[in-house]
Structure 1
Amino acid sequence: MNREQISKLAHTHHPIKSPLNDDSVSSLLSQALPRGDERVLDLGCGSAEWLLRALTTHPDVHAEGVDISESDLEEARQKAVRLGIDARLTLHHQKAEDFTSPHPFDLILCVGSTHALGGLLPTLEAARTHLAPGGRVLIGDGFWERTPTPEAIEVLGDFADLPTLVDQVVTNGWTPVQGHTSTRQELDDYEWSNWGTLADWALDHPTHPDSPQILTWATTRRTEWLHTYRDSWGFTTLILRPTPA
């Protein structure tokens, strides 16, 4: 299996590819869609779980998603058909930075996918070009809760702490109007689900040629989480509006 296939398998029981539970997702979407008839864009949508939930709970919302994974987009299309919301969902198979649209969007999503656009601040700059007047951005990214070890930085990459992250967002012309910091339970549930699901699959398919690779991957990632970054890494999801000039 390639990394995309492994990721898809790992998220079987946690389709939101970020450490957020269902209540947190519902609450954030409710606050980000105050009218209920918004046009929504997800940059790096994957299998479009955020969009599917927005469309299911808000019958007057229309949404578009952009991603480079054709298999994820096809999965999203099939789910949308089963849910009866496919007429309100448009999916684009392309890089997020190359996406253009003839119309702006009232809400732009990018949760756990800022790497697709080069990081948090480049993602916000890209979002600004697509945002309608009075619109909102719902963005989620990691941060360091405590000073990380060099090993943690090597595994996850470098992040700011939460105050610095918010300061950077504000300095770049955005005002936070709501936010959510993932709880320890959400963070732990996400990690246990991902690596446990992979291990479970490998143990259930002992004769599959990929089984040893998957079990090794699961064991390595679980060990990295528990020993390297569990006590230092966090995740925040912010609802932002442009700050008046």
Structure 2
Amino acid sequence: MERRLISHLAHRDHPIAAPVSGAHVTRLLRRARLPEAARILDLGCGRAAWTLRALAMYEDATADGVDISADALKTAEGYAEMQGVWERIRLHERPAADFPVVEHYDLVVCVGATHAFGGLAATVAHVRRHLRPNGLALIGGGFWEREPTPEALTRLNVEPSELLDLPGTVAAAESAGFDTVYASTSDLAEWDEYEWSWTGTLLRWANENPGPDAAAARAAALEHRDTWLHGYRGILGFVTLLLQRTA
């Protein structure tokens, strides 16, 4: 079973593909205080949960969403139609890192998709090219909440240097020509909600859809849950930074 499809199924009950609550999504977007007729770009949009929330809040805004998952984009299109915003969003099936700079946006969103660019430093540098002067970016990614244990590193298959602590993460983002004007650090409850949804939704799908893919889905869910519970719970953090492009 393709990893992309597993992720799509696992996010059915938590369409925000990151350990961020709906209330915090709204708070971050409200803090953005977008101008009239704002243009929004969502890189690695998935089901476009962030952008659809923004379009509901800013009724004259328009957006582009970019993702490699045809299933996620189809779901996003359906949500946009249900919410009556389908005329204000264009969805593009392509790698986020390959989306061309053809215009400059008021807000660029990249939450939980920094891997598409090779990490935080590359992400902020890429995002900056899409922004107008003083434009805003919402960038969300992992950091070390505390010193990672050898077991956590092994289960995550990462080196300690691949992530920074929170001060280092903020400094790395700002070094690309940004000021951090607000942020939301996910708490343990948000992490638990996300992880229990991810693993539980996938297990439920496997139980209700017997067949050749069910075993792969079950294995992926149990492996993920084991990595979380016995590896990075309370160690891996997640922060969503609201950044403003500087001169």
Q: Which residue of 2 aligns with 1:231?
A: 234
Cα deviation code 1:177-231 (max 9, x no counterpart): 00000011001111111111112222334x4222222222211111111111102
Does the 8 Å CA contact 2:11/2:197 hold for their aligned counterparts?
yes
Q: Which residue of 1 aligns with 2:19?
A: 19
Deviation of 1:71 (Å): 2.3
Between the aligned partners of 1:200 and 1:43, the Cα distance in structure 2 is 29
Cα deviation code 1:164-183 (max 9, x no counterpart): 11122223321100000001
Question: What amino acid maps onto 1:162 in structure 2?
Answer: L
Q: Which residue of 1 aligns with 2:163?
A: 159
Point out where structure 1 has 5 or more consecutive residues left out of the alignment.
Answer: none
Cα deviation code 1:27-48 (max 9, x no counterpart): 1111123435310001111121
Deviation of 1:121 (Å): 1.2
Question: What amino acid maps onto 1:217 in structure 2?
Answer: A
Between the aligned partners of 1:230 and 1:175, the Cα distance in structure 2 is 29
Does the 8 Å CA contact 1:174/1:241 hold for their aligned counterparts?
yes
Of 167, 180, 185, 1:181 maps to 185
Does the 8 Å CA contact 1:174/1:243 hold for their aligned counterparts?
yes
Does the 8 Å CA contact 2:8/2:71 hold for their aligned counterparts?
no
Q: Which residue of 2 aligns with 1:7?
A: 7
Misfit runs of 4+, over 4 Å: none
Structure 1 residues 214 and 71, CA gap change in structure 2 (3 angstroms)? closer
Does the 8 Å CA contact 1:33/1:107 hold for their aligned counterparts?
no
Greater shift in the superposed pair: 207-216 or 45-54? 207-216
Of 196, 199, 212, 2:200 maps to 196
Q: Which residue of 1 aligns with 2:67?
A: 67
Question: What amino acid maps onto 1:200 in structure 2?
Answer: R
Question: What amino acid maps onto 1:193 in structure 2?
Answer: S
**Identity over the aligned pairs, expressed in percent?**
45
Question: What amino acid maps onto 1:209 in structure 2?
Answer: P
Between the aligned partners of 1:155 and 1:29, the Cα distance in structure 2 is 33
CA-atom RMSD, angstroms? 1.5
TM-score by length of 2: 0.93
Between the aligned partners of 1:200 and 1:121, the Cα distance in structure 2 is 37
Question: What amino acid maps onto 1:160 in structure 2?
Answer: L
Question: What amino acid maps onto 2:181 in structure 1?
Answer: V
Structure 1 residues 9 and 175, CA gap change in structure 2 (3 angstroms)? same
Deviation of 1:58 (Å): 1.6
Deviation of 1:101 (Å): 4.1
Does the 8 Å CA contact 1:138/1:237 hold for their aligned counterparts?
yes
TM-score by length of 1: 0.93
Deviation of 1:125 (Å): 0.9
Point out where structure 2 has 5 or more consecutive residues left out of the alignment.
Answer: none
Q: Which residue of 2 aligns with 1:112?
A: 112
Asked if residue 243 in structure 1 is aligned to residue 246 in structure 2, the reply is yes
Q: Which residue of 2 aligns with 1:58?
A: 58
Question: What amino acid maps onto 1:232 in structure 2?
Answer: I
Does the 8 Å CA contact 2:120/2:172 hold for their aligned counterparts?
no
Asked if residue 216 in structure 1 is aligned to residue 219 in structure 2, the reply is yes
